[in-house]
Each structure stands twice: as structure tokens, then as C-alpha cells.
A and B are shown apart, each in its own frame.
Chain A
Amino acid sequence: MAATAALGAVADAATKCPSGGCQLDPARTCLTGIYLSQAVVAILAVLAISSEYGSGMIRVTFTAMPRRTTVLAANAVTVTGLALAAGTVAVLGSVLAGRLILPGHGFTAAHGYPPLSLGDGPVLRAAAGSVLYLALIALLSLGVAAAVRDSAVAIGIILGLLYLIPIIATVVGAPGWHRHLGQIAPMTAGLAIQATTGLRSLPLSPWTGLGVLAAWAAAALLAGGLLLRLRDA
């Protein structure tokens, strides 16, 4: 949480909006820390399942609770709750840091940037959406961890899914393909929720983007749940 707000504050402090105006999105800038905190959320969600596999404790759990999907559902509720709680604190800290720091860097009313306020519809959407984003990352991670069981492989798959697709997209020259990659990649689509300016140039509208991430999370949970039922523990 602290790292999220701190990274956001560093991004705030490093960003300058010159007097000629700029095209930067202040809400997105102060929420930069989400790039980092999603990795932390992913670890917690993965460990919720795979630490039990690692220690063999999962057999005890499944003996005590033979309905395995219920175990997964209970885990899902726990990690979602944790991600929502931690995400709320982190996002509020980031927005507060942005509110304090950004006006000193040219993001002033004179340049068309009122101070960041959660009373402002798009800013509220960005902040609340970022919290939901972290919760969906937790569910995606839980589903992947349930499917592959090993924590290192699970975290590799999740971070690969999140970080690799945008890197690969940078060399995709054809604008149509580039846009499609932005629409299906879980991170780029999900983080569309943070946009408060330039919505028209986005490959997806903010809520549709979060919906794409939700579809990824649902698919991962479904795969994880099915494998959990079909496989030996």
C-alpha cells in the first residue's frame, strides 16, 4: 500500500505540465503505483492456494471440506476482501499524494486541471475502478494458481500475462492489431478504467475495459475450479 502511494508520489513529482498545457492524465499519473501493487496482490492471491499445495496442507483441507469449489469460493472471497481493503487504502493515499503534489507541477486550474477530487465523476471512477482492478487481479491470480498449483509457475504466468502483452504490442506495427492487443490484454484493458482524459483515443471505454479483465478473471477461476474438481489433490 505504502509502495503504491510512494510510486504514485514519485510519478507526480517527476511529472511536469509546462505552461503551454499538456496531454497528461493527472488521475492516471497519481495512480501509477498500481503497476507495482498488482504484483503484490498477485503474490498474496497465489499464495492463498499454492502455499497449501506446497506444504501438502491442501489434502487436509479437502478432506475436511470435500466440496472443493466451495474452498475455492471461500478463498476468492478472502482475497477479494483483502485486495479491496488494501487497494482502497493504497488508492486513497495515491489520490491524496496527487492532490498535494500535482498542483505544484503545473497541473493547475489555469491549465485546465482542477485539483484532484473524488467528488469529480471521472476521478471517482478512476479511483474506485483501480480498487476493483486490484480485486479482479486477485481473482485472476487465484484462478491461475488453482489451475497450475505451483506458486512460481503461477506467478510467472500471471505477470507474463500482465506485463508481456503490452511489451509485445510495442513492436506490432499494424495499428489494427495494436488496438486489438490493447483491447484483449488484461492489464491495458483493465487500466482503461483509470483514464479521465482523452477517452475517445482509448481502444476501449473504461468500464468495458474493466469488463475484459473481469472476463479474464472469470475464465481463470472457471479453469481453476474445474481442474480442482477433476484432479487429485
Chain B
Amino acid sequence: MMITGGHGVRMQYDYTGDIAGPTGAVSAASPRWLRLTRSGDTLTGYQSADGTHWTTVGAVRLAGLPATVQAGLFAASPSSSHSTSQSVSGSSSAGGIVVATAAFDHVGLRSQRPGGAWTGDNVGGSAGGAPPGVGFRQAGPTFTVTGTGDIAPDVPGAPDGGGGTDIGQTLLGAFGGLIAVIVVAAMFMTAEYRRGLIRVTLAASPRRGRVLAAKAVVIGAVTFIAGLIGSAAALAIGERLLRSNGNYILPVSTLTEVRVVAGTAAVLAVAAVLALALGALLRSSAAAVTVAIVAIVLPYLMVNALPALPAGASDWLLRLTPAVGFSIQQSLPRYPQVLASYTPGNGYYPLAPWAGFAVLCGYAVVALGLAVIAIRRRDA
């Protein structure tokens, strides 16, 4: 149970859960009462403005909670973070430790096993020691607690994060594979135009839409299998390298891991189909390759590696371009209560994984449809 500066009363549990209570600022003139009760595995949080009329904020069940637990008062504040400079080599952000102080009175503990006197502890403090002022003071019935930091799940890019990385980091090489795939897929179509072989092909198989569909199936399937092998190997090797260099990889479920690996292969396959369709539409390999790379790689580069745009604009740039297909690589959830930079560089995309992949598929389908129309109408 906690009172926040700008988000009212909240009940947070199990590091990741967050239940909102009544909003409204709290000051010395209008204090707030908080109460936490335990019954078996269930914890219930209450809040009150006067200490007599209580309302329930939330009840949560923490499975496997030990019979004896520690209870206490806390004060904390996440570090501040703001971007200070944006340059072509990346952005740098600065921030600082923020210290919060809270005064508690009418502190009471009702338990079958009475506790001893309250003791102070700096929970999860860094090795460098607590910043000055952190600790607690007791003056009669009033406790003054000062603390810093955040009680929250680790999120890449959070100022108080534990420095964990997401598994998507190991698959960045997919962009190199993507460029190679685009070149091969575009040439799969344009080479025939250049050599004039397309006339033979279309004479042998007069149903032109079927020729294009067959090519799309072949390039998509081959790319998917190659991409699957490549990304599975990249993930396995990358994880090992990251761990051996002392990095912590934030754990995800096996299902998520499968989605990320198979999804990366699927993104490459759909990009291959898109490049093939562009090749059929434009009939020039240089133009097809450039359009595909500019549509898929450049937006990612602009929002991630060269943050020249403000956050809102870069979110829209991603949402509207095929580059958002890479959101299938997002493996970690967003936590609204955790302050962090949720950017593609940290593994967060502006669309849900499957929605982003659907946008890429939409582009490929539209391009393939236009290519079928063009190849039927045009002379070969």
C-alpha cells in the first residue's frame, strides 16, 4: 500500500501488479490512512481519509506466502531520467537519484505473534551505500522514513533497472539477413526481366498470377526455413555470449521464445515476398531493393539508432511503415507503473507483436496484389 505524489493511493504486489485506489493529493493538512491485512494467502489493502471510514483498494492472493512475514513502512522514489542530448551517434540521458521522505504516525501492528521494536533497513541498496539521508527516525509516535529507488520489475531502459537485457538483442543481426533476403528476393523476379527470360516463363505458363504466386511461395518458404535456422542459432549463441560477458537476460516463457524466433523468420519471409512483389511491380532490381530497404530498415534506424525525432513522431513512423513487423520480437511486457524508455532499442514497439506483424503482412499482400494486376495487364 502506498501513497504517490501524482497517482493517488496504489496497491502494488508481487513486483509486477498495480491496483489503483482513490486519486487525490495528500498533504500534511489532509493525511491518508493505509491498512494492510492478511488472511491466509490473501492480502487486502484499505485506505481511509479519517481513520474510521475505510474503503478497500484491492485484495490479492500471493500463493505460497510463508506463515511468518516481515511487515514495515517504506519510502522510495524512482530516479529521474531525461534525455540531455541527441546526436547522430545516439542519445544520452542523464538523471539523478531522487529521495523521498514520508512521515508516519498512528503506526500499529496487530498480530498473533507480536513483533519487536521497529528496525531500519536499506532494502536492495546498491554496493556504493545508501545516499545521505536515507534511513528512518522515530520521534515519539511518529516515524520519518527516507528512501530512494523503485520496487518494480526490471525493465530495460529503466533508470532504476537492474541492467537486464531482452532476448531481442541477440536477433539484431536479422537486419543484415533482411538486406540479403531483400536483394535475393527482388532479383528472383527482376533477373528474369533483365535477361528477357520472363517472356519464356510467361509463354510456358500463361496464367501470370500463378507464376507470381508460385515464386512468392517458394521465396517465402525458403526464407522462412533459412531464417528459422539462423535466428534459432543467433538466439542460442547470443544468449551464451551475453551471459559469459556478465549480462543478465530477462527471463521469458518458452512460448514467447518460440514466438520471437519463429516470428523473426516470418518477418524475413514476408519481407522477401514484399521485395519480390516490388521487383515485379518496378521491374528494376535497384529500385525494388531500395524501396524495400527504405521501407523496412530506414524507419527502424531513424527511431532507434538516430533518435532525431521526438517520441510521438517516431511511434507513428514505426506504426505506419513495414518496419513495425519487427514488433514480433518484443518479449517483455510494458508496465505502466514503471518509468522507462519503452523504445525499440530496448525491445518495446508501439504496436502489439501480432498487430505489428499484421501491418507488415498487409503491405506484402497489397504489393503482391498490385504486382499480379500489373503483370497481367502489362506486356512482358
Residues of A near any B CB (own CB < 8 A)? 10-11, 14-16, 23-25, 28-29, 32, 35-36, 39-40, 42-43, 46-47, 50, 54-55, 150-156, 159-160, 163-164, 166-171, 178-179, 182, 188, 191-192, 194-195, 198, 201-203
Tell me, in angstroms, the Cα distance from A115 to B30 when the chains sit together: 49
Number of residues from B at the complex interface, CB < 8 A: 45
B286 touches A28 (CB 8 A): no
A15 touches B310 (CB 8 A): yes
- From B119-127, B182-190, B216-224, give the one contacting chain A: B182-190
A192-B284 contact given A23-B83, A152-B289, A166-B305, CB 8 Å threshold: no
Excluding A54-B194, A202-B88, 16 further A-B contacts by CB distance (< 8 Å) are A11-B309, A47-B286, A150-B187, A152-B190, A152-B286, A155-B183, A155-B289, A155-B290, A156-B182, A159-B294, A163-B179, A167-B172, A167-B300, A201-B85, A201-B92, A203-B89
Contacts of B256 in A (CB 8 A): none
**Partner pick for B172 among A47, A153, A171, CB 8 A cutoff:** A171
In the complex, residue of chain B having the shortest beta-carbon distance to the beta carbon of A169:
B305
Contacts of A155 in B (CB 8 A): 183, 285-286, 289-290, 293
CB distance from B329 to the nearest CB of A (A): 13
B290 touches A159 (CB 8 A): yes
Map CB proximity to A onto B63-95 as digits: 1 under 8 Å, 0 otherwise.
000000000000000000001111111101000
Contacts of A182 in B (CB 8 A): 88-90
User: Would you call B338 an interface residue if the criterion is a C-beta within 8 Å of the partner chain's C-beta atoms?
Assistant: no
Show 27 residue pairs from A and B whose CB-CB distance is below 8 angstroms, ordered by the A residue.
Answer: A23-B83, A23-B86, A32-B309, A39-B293, A39-B298, A40-B290, A42-B290, A46-B286, A50-B286, A150-B187, A151-B286, A151-B289, A152-B286, A155-B183, A159-B293, A159-B297, A160-B176, A163-B298, A164-B179, A167-B172, A167-B297, A168-B176, A169-B305, A182-B88, A188-B306, A202-B87, A202-B88
B290 touches A43 (CB 8 A): yes
Tell me, in angstroms, the Cα distance from A151 to B191 when the chains sit together: 10
Contacts of A171 in B (CB 8 A): 169, 172
A170 touches B290 (CB 8 A): no
Map CB proximity to A onto B293-308 as digits: 1 under 8 Å, 0 otherwise.
1100110111011101
A36 touches B298 (CB 8 A): yes
Tell me, in angstroms, the Cα distance from A191 to B285 when the chains sit together: 27
Tell me, in angstroms, the Cα distance from A87 to B89 when the chains sit together: 23
Contacts of A24 in B (CB 8 A): 86
Contacts of A151 in B (CB 8 A): 284-286, 289
Contacts of B300 in A (CB 8 A): 167
A163 touches B87 (CB 8 A): no
- The list of the 4 closest CB pairs from A to B, nearest first, reads A14-B313, A152-B285, A182-B89, A156-B183
In the complex, residue of chain B having the shortest beta-carbon distance to the beta carbon of A53:
B194
Q: Which of B89, B169, B286: most chain A Cβ within 10 A? A: B286
User: Would you call B287 an interface residue if the criterion is a C-beta within 8 Å of the partner chain's C-beta atoms?
Assistant: yes
A36-B305 contact given A23-B83, A171-B172, CB 8 Å threshold: no
Contacts of A170 in B (CB 8 A): 90, 172, 304-305, 345
Residues of B near any A CB (own CB < 8 A)? 83-90, 92, 169, 172-173, 175-176, 179-180, 182-183, 186-187, 190, 194, 284-290, 293-294, 297-298, 300-302, 304-306, 308-310, 312-313, 345
**Partner pick for A36 among B83, B176, B294, B306, CB 8 A cutoff:** B294
In the complex, residue of chain B having the shortest beta-carbon distance to the beta carbon of A203:
B89
A16-B310 contact given A151-B285, A151-B286, CB 8 Å threshold: yes
Contacts of B298 in A (CB 8 A): 35-36, 39, 163
In the complex, residue of chain A having the shortest beta-carbon distance to the beta carbon of B182:
A156
Tell me, in angstroms, the Cα distance from A155 to B186 when the chains sit together: 12
Contacts of B179 in A (CB 8 A): 156, 159-160, 163-164
A39 touches B90 (CB 8 A): no
Contacts of A164 in B (CB 8 A): 175-176, 179, 297
Q: Which of B180, B293, B300: most chain A Cβ within 10 A? A: B293
Tell me, in angstroms, the Cα distance from A160 to B288 when the chains sit together: 15
A195 touches B289 (CB 8 A): no
Tell me, in angstroms, the Cα distance from A25 to B85 when the chains sit together: 9
Contacts of B284 in A (CB 8 A): 47, 151
In the complex, residue of chain A having the shortest beta-carbon distance to the beta carbon of B187:
A152
In the complex, residue of chain A having the shortest beta-carbon distance to the beta carbon of B305:
A166
A28-B290 contact given A151-B284, A166-B301, CB 8 Å threshold: no
In the complex, residue of chain B having the shortest beta-carbon distance to the beta carbon of A194:
B88
Contacts of B86 in A (CB 8 A): 23-25
Tell me, in angstroms, the Cα distance from A40 to B259 when the chains sit together: 35
B176 touches A32 (CB 8 A): no
A15 touches B309 (CB 8 A): yes
CB distance from A151 to the nearest CB of B (A): 4
Contacts of A28 in B (CB 8 A): 88, 308
Q: Which of A152, A154, A191: most chain B Cβ within 10 A? A: A152
